[in-house]
Amino acid sequence: MRIVATLTLSLLLLTAAARLRPPEYDEAYSIFLTAGDPRPAWPPGVFHPADIRNFYQGTPSPTKIAQDLRTGDVHPPLYFWTLEYWRRLTGPSWFAARMLSVTFSIAALAALAWLAALAEIPAATPLLIILLSYGFTYTGIVARGFALAQFLNILGVALTFQASKNRNRGFAFFGGVAFGAAGFSNYLAIFIGAATILWLSTCRTRSSAIPAAVGLALFLGPIGYFFIAQHNSRNGQFAAFSLVHAIFLLAKDAAAAWFGGLPLYAGHAGIFIAAAIATLIAICTGFIIKNWQRKLSPFAVAALATPAGLLVLGLIFNNTPIEIRYLAFGLPFLALLLSQTLPRPLLVLVLGLEACGIIGLISAPITMQPQGIAARRLSQFATPSSLVLLPFGNDGVGIPGPFIAAAPDNLRLELIKPSPFPNLAGERRIILLTIQIDAASKQAVAAALTKFNADPCWTLKASTMLLNVFSRTCSRD
């Protein structure tokens, strides 16, 4: 009953987070890819969101999705194939797309409960620890492949752990299949499978490692087919590799994966909150090391696999692919370790801090991207005749996609690039959205502000962090 109650609570929390958080940059790639046009051709000049709602709909074939991924993205196709058929069943809305991730997250928690039972660990505590972790909840609601990969990795660890207990090669094989499918959902998920199979090879039932490796190997060809075509698609996405910088990012993002942006919410006291969290993490790490048990070793291996893999990957490709969403893959296994090694007062403290982080994830704008927030706040400034200028961004996906999805149908909108500047003849009121998420949007906003500030006919009437409102004061253009 406790597990059922925890899973019910999880469904409610994840659904609320999926509903309340505004749409995000990367999710737009998922939406448009599974609508059949990964790079929408937005209308030139002024248009209304109602004119292009069909851009968010469509039923491309799996072959079309695969071709689009190989030629213009950096992800494998399993999640997107699944999302395409999910959207056919549930409709094209952004929230419906997110609910697929919520579904996989609930399945991941159920698999974690099974894994805990196999290890003779009471399941309710690790389920609560992982549910309230910022990284799991965040990656568990966004319309991307993280939740599917997370579920498959936990399932793979459970199956291989079962194989290590009863010498069942069938469990080992299907565990390897789950690991391969996780990698076919997100390349960086493969580290946990590889490390777990390596652990399996050191057990007394080491013969199970071979069928597990065979199961994973079934996906290496398809993974390579996509990865080789894509590996140069986004050069410069991450900073060049530096070991010191990489370790700093690992520490910072690992803490954020557990507790979110708590130091950011605290204002001037943030540095003290950060120091307290660092101290707590050090104490928790000490308890894990002190109370080491052999039956927990596969969970330690799985928890360390992603950070170690990211360091190796960065060294090989000279970049630093370290982010909260990648480190989230190891959180379920850390939750098992913590639930078994921390005394109750520390567990209560960890859960309390995590809960504060989740409240921030759901309600704090500082943890959210601005596109949807800006669309919602336009009602305070927009009139029927206002023209809204929105940065096109790097490729017209990550900024326009989420904004237009949340914008009212009758909004007068024009997308702007760094040049040329749009012809505003006849316009009396302009709302410039100062959303600056990528290089092109920063350049476009800077160029637009320069134009308005240099033209005496335009007067700044209102300004917020997300927009500037200009009014024409000259009687003629």
For 204-213, the pLDDT digits (tens) are: 667 789 999 9
Give dist(CA 270, CA 391) in Å, integer: 32
- The answer to whether residue 66 is domain-embedded is no
- Looking at the domain assignment, is residue 268 inside a domain? yes
**Ramachandran class of 217: left when φ > 0, alpha when ψ lies in -120 to 50, beta otherwise:** alpha
pLDDT at 259: 94
In tens, the pLDDT along 305-330 reads: 999 999 998 898 888 889 999 999 99
Give percent of the chain with pLDDT exceeding 70: 97
Same domain, 330 and 310: yes
Are 360 and 423 within one domain?
no
**Amino acid 268: pLDDT:** 80
Q: What is the mean pLDDT of residues 231-256?
A: 82
Tell me: do 201 and 82 sit in the same domain.
yes
Q: Which of 194, 77, 159, 141 is nearest to 328 (CA)?
A: 141
Task: Tally the domains of the chain.
Answer: 2
Which of 367, 400, 422 is a domain's end point? 367
- Work out the mean pLDDT of the chain and round it to a whole number: 92
322 to 143, 308, 351: CA distances (angstroms): 20, 11, 25
Q: What backbone torsions phi and psi does residue 461 show, to the nearest 5 degrees?
A: -105, -30
**Distance set, CA 108 to CA 127, 249, 329 (Å):** 10, 26, 11
In a domain, 331, yes or no: yes
Neighbours of 376 (CB within 10 A): 13
285 plus 379 within the same structural domain:
no
Same domain? 10 vs 133: yes
User: Is a pLDDT exceeding 60 seen at residue 348?
Assistant: yes
Position 44 in a domain: no
> Counting beta carbons within 10 angstroms of the beta carbon of residue 105, is it exposed (0 to 12), middle (13 to 18) or buried (19 or more)?
buried
455 assigned to some structural domain: yes
Inform me whether the pLDDT recorded for 236 exceeds 60: no
In a domain, 91, yes or no: yes
Instruction: Report which of 31, 30, 13, 250 is spatially closest to residue 138, judged by C-alpha positions.
Output: 13
Helices (H), 184-296: 190-200, 209-217, 220-230, 243-259, 262-265, 270-290
Phi, psi (rounded to 5 degrees) for 68: -65, -40
Spatial contact of 139 and 153, defined as CB atoms under 8 Å apart = no
Domain boundary among 367, 387, 415: 367
Do 319 and 420 lie in one domain? The reply is: no
Are residue 404 and residue 286 in the same domain, yes or no? Answer: no
Report pLDDT digits (tens) over 169-205.
889 999 999 999 999 999 999 999 999 999 988 876 6
Range with lowest mean pLDDT among 35-49, 225-239, 406-420 = 225-239
How far is 89 from 77, CA to CA, in rounded Å?
19
143 and 159 both lie in a single domain:
yes
Same domain, 341 and 439: no
Residue pair 437/393 in contact (Cβ under 8 Å)? The answer is: yes
Domain containing 413: what range? Answer: 370-472
Q: Provide the CA 267 distance to its chain's centre, in angstroms.
A: 25
Same domain flag for 216 and 82: yes
Residue 272 sits in the same domain as residue 144: yes
Task: Indicate whether 188 and 273 sit together in one domain.
Answer: yes
Q: Are 313 and 337 in contact (CB under 8 A)?
A: no
Out of 42-56, 76-90, 179-193, 272-286, least confident range: 272-286
First-last CA distance in the chain: 71
Domain edge (last residue) among 318, 349, 367: 367
Q: What are the Cα distances from residue 442, in Å, to 46, 373, 420?
A: 21, 18, 15
